[in-house]
């Protein structure tokens, strides 16, 4: 699992759908800069283990991580990526050209991340119990 990367992300969480530029930094922080829908183009969500920061049209709001609902899409994405990066409650299997990470987050949500075995690019993240899917494109490590 890459320790740091950037990618385009198409996120579906129930009826909510958005696209974002995603950055995962080496320290584990995820930054989502929403690019669609139009009404949310200025929203940036920065999620770390300690807090979540929402920046929108020059207004910034920080909240401790524990105050976010477990169903918040940024929190779900962060938790799955952290679990896969750390190898915590996560198993990697390889089948042909695809590697699959199957695991459980600290809150008990199960996830699957698929990745190109050759390039290391992530393809998708799913959490069936949360109706949560992220499709990755334009993936770059570092």
Query: How does strand 90-95 pair with strand 5-13?
Result: unpaired
The two tokens of residue 30 are: 């995820």
Q: Tell me the domains of the chain and their CATH numbers.
A: 5-141 (2.50.20.10)
If you average pLDDT over every residue of the chain, what do you get?
93
- Global pTM? 0.91
Q: Say if residues 107 and 48 touch (Cβ distance below 8 Å).
A: no
- In tens, the pLDDT along 86-107 reads 888 999 999 999 999 999 998 8
Beta partners for 9?
A: 20, 136
User: Residue 142's pLDDT is what?
Assistant: 80
Peptide bond into 16 cis (omega under 30): no
The C-alpha R_g of the chain, in whole angstroms, comes to 14
- SS3 (DSSP) at 85: helix
Q: Is the pLDDT of residue 50 over 80?
A: yes
The angle subtended at Cα 48 by Cα 44 and Cα 52, nearest 5°, is 50
Listed residue (14, 7, 35) closest to 124, CA to CA = 7
- In tens, the pLDDT along 109-133 reads 999 999 999 999 999 999 988 999 9
Q: Say if residues 114 and 92 touch (Cβ distance below 8 Å).
A: no
């Amino acid at each position: 699992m890459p320790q740091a990367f950037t990618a385009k992300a198409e996120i579906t969480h129930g009826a909510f759908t958005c696209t974002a530029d995603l950055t995962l930094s080496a320290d584990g922080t995820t930054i989502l800069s929403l690019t669609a829908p139009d009404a949310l183009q200025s929203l940036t969500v920065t999620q770390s283990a300690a807090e979540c920061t929402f920046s929108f049209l020059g207004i910034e709001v920080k909240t401790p991580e524990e105050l976010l609902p477990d169903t918040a899409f940024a929190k779900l994405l962060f938790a799955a990526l952290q679990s896969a990066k750390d190898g915590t409650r996560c198993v990697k299997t390889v089948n042909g050209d695809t590697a699959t990470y199957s695991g459980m987050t600290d809150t008990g949500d199960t996830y699957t991340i698929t990745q190109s075995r050759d390039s290391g690019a992530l393809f998708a993240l799913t959490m069936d119990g949360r109706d949560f899917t992220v499709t990755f494109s334009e993936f770059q490590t570092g």
